[in-house]
Amino acid sequence: MNQMIQVQDGFEVIEGKNGIQLSCYVGAELVAIHVFNITGEPKSFYLTHQFDIEEAITDLIENQAWNGVSPLELDAKSLLLS
């Protein structure tokens, strides 16, 4: 686990987009994360896949797949395939 990346617990629903927004700190910077294409109820998805989401966020940031611009976006369907 990278201690410079700290995913905050909890989420907010992004109305009309089948998504949720989470937050994490990368160093001292607060970064928004959007998880979109969620099928079903967002709370159930988050509770079921919370640790998969956190792992995907950490992997993207550590592998420099994130360009430093917020929000970082994750596709729920891709997340479930990994």
Query: Where are the alpha helices (H) located in 20-74, listed in sequence order?
Result: 42-62
**DSSP code of 69?**
P
Q: What is the tens place of the pLDDT at every residue in 69-82?
A: 778 889 998 877 66
Give bridge partners of residue 24 from the DSSP assignment.
7, 31
Q: What's the whole-model pTM score? A: 0.84
Domains of the chain plus CATH, in order, are: 5-81 (3.30.160.140)
Residues 6+ apart with CB under 8 A from 81: none
Given a cut of 70, whether residue 13 has pLDDT beyond it is: yes
**DSSP code of 10?**
-
Q: What is the tens place of the pLDDT at every residue in 24-75?
A: 998 888 889 999 999 999 999 999 999 999 999 988 888 876 777 778 889 9
State residue 82's pLDDT score. Answer: 61
Q: How far apart are CA 76 and CA 49, in angstroms?
A: 9
